[in-house]
Amino acid sequence: MKTPAYLEGVASTHRDVVLRDLAWLAVTPDVVELPPPFPQAGRPSLAEIGLGESLDDWLQQLAIPVMAGDGHRASRMGHYHERLWHWLLERAPNTCLLGHNLRITRRRNTLGELDMLYRRRDNPAPVHLEVAIKFYLGLPDGPGAVTDQGRWIGPGGLDSLALKCRHLQRHQLPLSATPLALDTLRHWLTPRDLGPATPDLPAVLAQRLAMPGVLFYPWHAPLPPPEGAAPGHRRGRWCHVSDWPALAATLPGDYRIAWLEKPHWLAPPPLETFMPPGMRVEWLTKALYQPQQVIVYCPAEQRSERLFIVPDNWPRQIPLPPR
């Protein structure tokens, strides 16, 4: 099998699973862009964090024993994804992580948490960063209009793109602009954290949002992207398990397949782990009861595609749209 240089933007030279996930996280676009009043809520770019064209060289130089331990012990993908961001912002050449999971309370009641606070070395003003990693499957039928975000739901059926965007806009991002949050941060941050160019906390914190992931389009019906979908977002397809033989028949005859297990739903695995379709089929048995994510790789075309195979009775429930 000829080895491509990159698969989903991840260099084939990266062997460690955490390094691969870090690389995927750094280059994968967000799945959605929020409308105003969040015009600057996009992810920190590689240039901003000081990597630019040097991402692969920087990753190869990282000391990874502790990272690998964290990655293999992680069980919840959201927590693992957050830890990857901590590592990235702590060690990237132009960023300094000031804190994470910063709890904002009033009279012992927790109002919420700020995912991360960081600053750039070339601009020491603190930045509030919210992160999430999302894999949503699009429903060809309702609720709402054909581009409604409520049609895009998580594989477990408990979350939707509409609910997540509403929570970000109504709660998570506005929280850092409240007087209570700013007072909390003023007491918590030190002058060294702020840097000499910014001796005091700004009246309004800069805010950023990073929400990498994949939108999976239905195999059996056309569906346009949801409202607010970011240009260039990663795409996959989904099908019911009984439709898998028909979908597989459309793939090139030399395709190979790899099964993704949490928390490593991020980067594609190394090519040697891709198997001919008949060699490892336990994922297909599990798909009878629970959605399973796989990646198919076509050697002749040197391309890959993500697929979600779901039970025939999926979705068992559809999240109610936000009020």
Q: What is the mean pLDDT of each run of 10 residues along the chain (323 residues)?
A: 76 88 94 80 88 88 54 70 94 94 86 92 88 97 92 95 94 89 82 63 82 97 96 96 96 94 93 88 93 95 94 93 83
DSSP string, 39-91: TT-SPPPTTTTT-GGGHHHHHHHS--HHHHHHHHH---HHHHHHHHHHHHHHH
Q: Would you state the pLDDT for residue 60? A: 86
Tell me the backbone φ, ψ of residue 204, rounded to 5 degrees: -135, 125
Could you give the C-alpha distances from 246 to 101, 136, 190, 219, in angstroms and in order? Answer: 46, 22, 60, 10
Domain boundaries along the sequence of the chain: 6-310
Cα(70)–Cα(82) distance, integer angstroms: 11
Which residues, including other chains, have CB under 8 Å from residue 130's CB and lie 6 or more apart? Answer: 114, 115, 116, 168, 172, 173, 207, 208, 209, 210
Cα(166)–Cα(170) distance, integer angstroms: 6
Triad 79, 83, 85: Cα angle to 5°:
120
Answer yes or no: are the C-beta atoms of 48 and 9 closer than 8 Å.
no
**Residue length of the chain:** 323
Cα(199)–Cα(193) distance, integer angstroms: 9
Q: Would you state the pLDDT for residue 256? A: 95
In 10 A of CB 77, how many CB atoms?
15
Strand-by-strand arrangement of the 213-218 sheet: 152-153, 134-138, 213-218, 234-240, 303-310, 292-298, 256-260
Answer yes or no: are the C-beta atoms of 137 and 155 closer than 8 Å.
yes
Q: Would you state the pLDDT for residue 293? A: 97
End-to-end CA distance of the chain: 52
Answer yes or no: are the C-beta atoms of 48 and 32 closer than 8 Å.
no
Helix residue ranges, H only, 92-189: 161-167, 173-175, 179-188
With both helix axes pointing from N to C terminus, report the angle between 77-91 and 65-73 in degrees, rounded to the nearest 10: 160
Q: Would you state the pLDDT for residue 1? A: 47
Cα(298)–Cα(249) distance, integer angstroms: 13
Q: Would you state the pLDDT for residue 301? A: 87
Token pair for 147:
């581009």
